[in-house]
Structure 1
Amino acid sequence: MSARTKKEPPLIRQVVTNNEEISPGVHVISFRRNFDFLPGQVVKIGVDTEHPPRIYSICSGNQEDELRILFNIKDDGFLTPKMAAMIPGDILFVSEPYGSFLGTNDPAWWIATGTGIAPFYAMFRSGNSENKTLIHGVRHLNQFYFEDELEWSLGKNYVRCCSQEESCDVFPGRVSKYLEELDELPDVKFYLCGKALMVVEVRDLLIEKGVDYGNIIAEIYF
């Protein structure tokens, strides 16, 4: 979920078409796409008109028939437990897409933790993955969402970092540790998406390694 903006877009009724738990406590909820969007943009989502909506990155390609949202259940929250319990035919209230965390066709590194992979998966599904390196950091091996598809398509340009479990072809540690151990970094844009602590830590590390501040684009999830 991305940071709020001041403007409050109107919410439109959308009918849930699918709701799949893809990892313990992590869901992908879907509805028909009836608007255009740019990969990397967000929408506001609510389950009624009485409670404030929350902001989520779109997690599907911009030419697909359905629009998908990746979210993890917050046990003490209001929205996500209700979203997790939804079935096809239930109603979501969704804004039009907006936001400036946008993918391009230029070479870049995508760096994400947890469900922060959502906008990069949207960029990938929208055909923006050429000349991209995706680095995804999680705590547990079952949190590499969409990994089969990403590994098949991106190959060596798909880097998985796991801090609490080990497996072959997975870097044993956090994203920051992986980046620290690299001898040099390419002259490309670096897109960061995850919690504020990760974004700040990785941004500072990149700058220390010589990356220009203007080449770092961040989206904070909370």
Structure 2
Amino acid sequence: MGKGKKVAPLKEYPLTGNLEISPGVYLLRFSQNFDFIPGQVVKVGLDDKNPPRIYSLCSGNQEKEAGILFNVKEDGLLTPQLAKLIPGDKILVSEPYGSFLGTPEPAWWIATGTGIAPFYSMFQSGLGENKKLIHGVSYLNQFYFEDELDWAMGENYVRCCSRESSCDTFPGRVTDYISTQESLPDVKYYLCGKALMVVEVRDLLISKGIPYANIMAEIYF
């Protein structure tokens, strides 16, 4: 933050929905009036007593409602409270910001868990063409938005599941899937997930000849 630059205050927005789409994982939606680039984040809070948390927007940039995808952390200060909200309740949201931005150029999107949020935003904003989405989770019920993504992306939507199996998922982690690829295309690679996953995938891509400059990452805590 540059010296003397003021931080814009968070604004109040009414909730329009709060759906538990998987055990402990919620898609919160609220009326919004801001513009954003798919992939950007916002700060979300409930009051001025506790610091807000950062979440990727999980909705298309032409929609009237914005979405936030989050998993409840039992010892967290914010997510257990967010999970209890109902339509009509208010949340505090910052202006969108960030440099993890979707583009129309060919790319691989690699995510684990709720790290799929910015890629779903890009997909919903019309940037799904020429993309390959690889989503890694532990259990089959964690493939958020899978019906929609499978219908639209077909074989370019790869589900990797490490603790359960099915006929249409890769048995293992995203790193296992990438390791099976004999060669990788010369495209941009976007990574979103926990720090360990991002580091492991980045190093694996580099070992397979992908330039560091072609790898963009967003770390989820």
**Structures share a fold, TM > 0.5?**
yes
Cα RMSD, aligned residues only = 1.0
Tell me the residue number matched to 1:117: 116
Tell me the residue number matched to 2:21: 22
1:161-219 alpha-carbon deviations (Å, 9 max, x no partner): 00000001100000000000110000000000000000000000000000000000000
The answer to whether residue 196 in structure 2 is matched with residue 197 in structure 1 is yes
Taking the TM superposition and a 5 Å limit, the aligned residue runs for 1:19-168 are 19-168=18-167
The answer to whether residue 209 in structure 2 is matched with residue 210 in structure 1 is yes
Runs of at least 5 residues in structure 2 that lack an aligned partner in the other structure: none
CA contact (8 A) 1:112 1:135 kept: yes
1:35-91 alpha-carbon deviations (Å, 9 max, x no partner): 110000000000111110000000000001100000000000010000000001111
CA contact (8 A) 2:16 2:87 kept: yes
Q: Single out whichever of 8-17 and 89-98 deviates more from structure 2.
A: 8-17
Q: Which structure ranks higher in relative contact order (CA pairs < 8 Å, sequence separation ≥ 6)?
A: 1
Measure how far apart 1:8 and its partner are.
Answer: 4.0
Q: Which amino acid counterpart does residue 188 of structure 2 have in structure 1?
A: K
1:108-151 alpha-carbon deviations (Å, 9 max, x no partner): 00000000000000000000010000000000000000000000
CA contact (8 A) 2:13 2:32 kept: no
CA contact (8 A) 1:49 1:93 kept: no
* Partner-residue secondary structure (3-state), 2:37: coil
Q: Which amino acid counterpart does residue 165 of structure 1 have in structure 2?
A: E
Number of aligned residues:
218
Distance 1:10 1:206 in 2: 39
CA contact (8 A) 2:135 2:158 kept: yes
Distance 1:95 1:49 in 2: 13
* Partner-residue secondary structure (3-state), 2:17: strand
Distance 1:82 1:33 in 2: 21
Structure 1 length-normalised TM:
0.97
CA contact (8 A) 2:111 2:134 kept: yes
Measure how far apart 1:9 and its partner are.
Answer: 3.5
Distance 2:152 2:80 in 1: 33
Q: Single out whichever of 47-56 and 7-16 deviates more from structure 2.
A: 7-16
